Amino acid sequence: MLLRVFFFLLCSFDVHCKKLSAFLICIISNQSVVLLGTRFRPLSFEVPKPLFPVAGVPILQHHIEACAKVPNMKEILLIGFYQPNEELTRFMCNTQQELKISIRYLQEYSALGTGGGIYHFRDQIVSGSPEAFFVLNADVCSAFPLTEMLSFQKEHGEPNSFVILGTTANRTQSLNYGCIVENEETREVLHYVEKPSTFVSDIINCGVYLFTPDIFQHIGTVFQKNQQDMLLYPYDGEEPTNGWHRAEAIRLEQDIFTALAGQGKLYVYKTLSFWSQIKSAGSAIYASRLYLNQYHTTHPERLASNKEGGPKISGNVYIHPTANIDPTATLGPNVSIGTGVTIGAGVRVRESIILHGATLQDHCCVLNSVVGWDSTIGKWARVEGTPSDPNPNDPYAKIDSETLFRDGKLTPSITILGCNVTIPSEVIILNSIVLPHKDLNRGFKNQIIL
């Protein structure tokens, strides 16, 4: 099952009470990519993308942990188009117990877009009389400065104004994001363009929003217009571009922010902390590096350290307690070891994610790779990929969202092994993607092994 990449957080507040009430909504559906999700394959074959482990915990858990730090959080709502499965249910139960917070999943009847999802469930959202709420995309990693956004909202604009979290990108990469033109004094959003064809601004949308319930009036206006268009242009039997489910399919970015810009209702809070999208498996390794580094201040207990009788740790490394690692192995920097992983003597792992149940036999080497669930890498084998990190010489560079192919050839990227893949001893797998349940008998370079 492919769970969509968007996650929305609703956090509601009542500043007139001494005790604040709060909600969190996670929307994990997106109309534009509902049938695809190909950039995260083959990993998304086994687990919904928002539940893929980054720095040792599911992507969504980073969002939820940040939200749980907001005072008096009351409830978390996950909204998505997909049938709830055992993995999602288990994740919600475990996270509820760990963070002592209520989590519910609300299923859309259709993929409703980034605005349509929260509008469809608006009655449940406003039932607690929230004063404001946050909305977060699931395909981003960030320090999530939510309390800072709250303070910013109180200092700028009217009480019912909305806030977008923004950051700075270089001029070229800004074309791949929503671009914000601001009033430098008031921080009001004067102009908003989603993925412009020419340069508009180097301030980009981070996919983290602070709304008040007034946002539903603006979404409702778009919904009514869509209904009118439905009557004027009825469904013709071809591509279902109209109809009730299309009237309710609304995009916050294109349909709402573009219209609100310049009206004194929309402001941008620019973060200087880390931020990145998680579109592909390669970006998951980069996000893992960012979160592992953040653990020094947020979760130091999750970082492994050099101990007598243990493996050599270099840099930031996460090791699940159930992993069995030979003391002669060397791990790091930026390594995440999942549950039940077995790592043999002399193994070297760097810039990689090793998933549940994988076995790395003696003296193998894993660099810039994701090793899938229950996969095995033979003795003296080498599994290596090419990182797609941002330009270290450009402080505003973001990770590029590379296409799978370029000029008819597979784009060099990290190596990905799907679940239950067996790599024989003494072979090299370089810049390749191996689909699940493959038993290889030789080395590969720059290939997709189907």
Question: Hey, what domains does the chain have and what are their CATH numbers?
Answer: 23-231+245-277 (3.90.550.10), 303-391+409-448 (2.160.10.10)
Mean confidence (pLDDT) of the chain = 86
| Residue carrying the six token digits 């190909």 | 38
* The pLDDT of residue 442 is above 70: yes
Q: Region of 395 please: left (phi>0), alpha (psi -120 to 50) or beta.
A: alpha
- pLDDT at res. 24: 53
* Sequence-distant (≥ 6) Cβ neighbours of residue 220 within 8 angstroms: 119
Look up the pTM and report it.
Answer: 0.89
- The pLDDT tens digits for 129-164 are 888 888 888 889 999 999 999 999 988 867 789 999
Mean pLDDT confidence for 243-270: 86
Task: Please report which helix (H) or strand (E) contains residue 98, including its range.
Answer: helix 86-99
List, in sequence order, every beta strand (DSSP E) within 143-297: 162-168, 178-182, 189-194, 203-211, 266-270, 275-277
* The pLDDT of residue 15 is above 90: no
* The pLDDT of residue 95 is above 50: yes
* The pLDDT of residue 65 is above 50: yes
- The pLDDT tens digits for 199-248 are 999 999 999 999 999 999 999 999 888 888 877 766 554 544 434 446 88
Least confident of 34-38, 203-207, 392-396: 34-38
* The pLDDT of residue 300 is above 70: yes
Main-chain phi, psi angles of 25, to 5 degrees: -115, 130
- pLDDT at res. 201: 96
Band the pLDDT of 304: cuts 50, 70, 90: very high
Q: How far is residue 323's CA from residue 185's CA, in Å, rounded to a whole number?
A: 52
Which two structure tokens, joined as six digits, stand for 169?
């990108």
- pLDDT at res. 350: 98
- pLDDT at res. 102: 85
Q: Are 436 and 419 in contact (CB under 8 A)?
A: yes
Band the pLDDT of 84: cuts 50, 70, 90: confident
- pLDDT at res. 266: 96
- CB-hemisphere CA count at 13 Å for 9? 26
Q: How far is residue 74's CA from residue 277's CA, in Å, rounded to a whole number?
A: 27
Cis peptide before 424 (omega within 30 of 0): no
Which two structure tokens, joined as six digits, stand for 53?
């482990």
Which of 30-44, 126-140, 175-189 is predicted most confidently?
175-189
| Residue carrying the six token digits 């030789």 | 442
Write 332-337 long-range contacts (CB < 8 A, 24+): 333/289, 334/285, 334/288, 334/289, 334/292, 336/53, 336/54, 336/55, 336/56, 336/288, 336/292, 337/56
